[in-house]
Structures are given as C-alpha cells and as structure tokens.
Structure 1
Amino acid sequence: MPRPKNIVILISGSGSNMAAIVQAVQQQGWQQQFGAAVAAVISNRPGAPGLRLAQALGVATHLLDHHAFETREAFDAALMQLIDSHQPALVVLAGFMRILTPAFVAHYAGRLINIHPSLLPAFTGLNTHQRAIDAGCTQAGCTVHQVTAELDHGPILAQAAVPVLPEDTADTLAARVLVEEHRLYPQAVRGWLQSQV
C-alpha cells in the first residue's frame, strides 16, 4: 500500500476554502484515487468558525493560539510539531492569517501551498480587491501558489480570473472572487496530488 497522502489545512477564520477542499476530497473519492485525506484542520484563532465547520465535516481539529507564544519562532516551532504529528504530504493555507518564519517555510518546501485573492504577481499582501479597483483593472481573480520565504511570490500552480465591473466595491468583487477560490483551490490541490502519483 502506498503511504497515505495526508493533507493538513491551516485556517484563521470562516474556513470556506477549507470546506471546499474537504468536500471535494469526500465527494470525489480522493481516498480511493490518491490515498488522500484531510487529516486535520488547525486554527491559530480561538472561536474561528472554520473549526466548527471542520468538525461538522468529520475532520479532526486543533487550536494553537498564537497569543500563547512569546515569539513568532516559538509559535511556528509548536505548529510544525503539531502538523508533523499528522505526517502530512501537503500543508494547505486556507485563510491562515500569519506570516510564517523562513524555518517553517523551509521545513515544508515543495509541499506548502496558499491561495491569494489576486492575479499574482499583481497585488501581493492585503486589501487586494480595493487596490485592483483603484488601479482601474478590468480583471481580478485568485492564485494558488507554492509558499516560499518571500510573501506571495512562490511558483504559481493555478489562477482564475473574474471581470471587475464598473459598479464594483471591494466587497462585491471579493464575493465574486471567493466563488472562484472555492472552485480553483480543490482543483489545484487535486492537481498537486496527481503530480505526486
């Protein structure tokens, strides 16, 4: 039997992208096809709605509150230990609102991916939707990429674009992009798994 391809998903908030991936795993039979399963969902924020959502989907959850640690390095070391207890083939950032230390990124090099709500390399960082509107962009979107030490700069795995409409606000544009995120992220994770077969 090939070694199971455990996926660990990190969240900070609602967990909607996490749920899209878990549902794809369950509904598309990834266990049978790739030996893949979501082994755990971990949040750094107490009360993150995504923890309850993951539990409702039958996934093990952990809370590791970053406020309990004096330094970013100490938190990342504890997070690595928790993730590694699940022997992950892939670590997925799904709305995980922490800048990760170089040591953490290096530890998971090649098996750490993120989704960003812009068409990278445009608009790295925060407030992407308002920045796209302010810049007069006719298209916005989302990008799944490998995580490297430089924020939002890793190799691109997949992208999806949406039009920016004349009447758009940051909120309406964000809602349209989020629909694409929920479609694209499971596809990109599946593609990564297929590339490992």
Structure 2
Amino acid sequence: MTVLPLVFTSGWASGINAYAVVLLLGVFGATGLSDDVPASLQRPDVLIAAAVLFLCEAVADKIPYVDSVWDSVHTVVRPVAGAVVGALLAGQSGSLSHLAAGAIGGSTALASHLVKAGTRMAVNTSPEPFSNIVLSTAEDLGVAGIVTFAMFNPQAAAVIAALLLAAGLALVIYFWTRIRRFLRRRAQRREERRLAAETRRATDAPPH
C-alpha cells in the first residue's frame, strides 16, 4: 500500500500542529499500534520534546494575538516538520521517494499553516477571547482525530484532510477583507504609538 495518503494527511496536520503530529505518530509506533512509523519518531527524547512543545503550543494558541505571533514563528517550522515527517514515512515504507514525500508533506503543511494563520488573524479582530479557545481546541481535536484515523484508514483520512484544506482556503479568501482591515488597524496603531513617542521626546527635551 502506498504511503502517499498518510504523507498528505500528516502534512496537513503538521501545518496546524506539528508537535501533535510527531507526538501522535511516535506514540502509535512505540505502542505497536502501527508498523508505518519510523523508529526515529519513537525515541523517548523525541516524544518528550514533542510533548513539551505541544503543551506550549496548546497554551499560546489560545491567547489572542499571541497565537498570531506563534504562527509567524512557525511559518518555517511547520512546513519543515511536514516535509521531514513525510520523508521519514516514505523511508519507512519504501513505496515513495524521500524527495517526493518531503515535497508533498512540506507543501501541504505550508498550505494548511497559511489557512490556520489567516483564520486566526480574522478571529483576532473579534474583541472577545473565547473564539480563539474554541477554534484552537477544535483544531487540536481535529488533528488528533484525523491522524488517528489515518493510521487505520489512510485513504479516507486523506480525502477528509483535502476537503478541510479546500474549505479552509475558501474561508481565508472569504475573510481576506476582514484580515486586511485588521492589518491596517494594527499598522495604524503602531504609527500612532511612534508619533506619540516622538511627541513625548520633543516635549521632554530641554529648551536650547
């Protein structure tokens, strides 16, 4: 059986929460529930690091604006994680080249990361914090559910991941106007703070 559906699904999930993907795959492999997980993901040090980083993301991802900063930092981390996991899965199965698997996993992770980051920017325009918590929890549960499903039915899981990715891209396009307004307001606030600081410095400066 080709590993392509699992690579695609893990790439999609890595774009949302790469640490959860590494942790889940490692646990499945370490407990013997799946033979498709490479040994490098089952190492105790990898599992511990993934668990700690997953907990950090679980907190940061639920705080308005902090989640957007976290997403910015992970613009590189998530696609790289998707590419590495994809390449490792391909090496384990031998049915797909490392290069092709890395390209599929990385590009899928980048696409889903952009969907997540864009959605969060739209959600952060709301004054209340609860939508962030609800959305972050739904993402975590979705990643856990689909990655688990992919271990036992990779083709169906890949179809679901593809549909969610397409729906997410459509949603980001729909909310793009709202996101642009948010970015303009943030830029305006930065400019206002800069002008206020210059005014204070000019006022506090001793007369010549």
Scaled by the length of structure 1, the TM-score of the pair is 0.34
Structure showing greater Rg: 2
Structure with higher RCO (Cα < 8 A, 6+ apart): 2
Considering fraction of residues, name the structure with more helix. 2
Considering fraction of residues, name the structure with more strand. 1
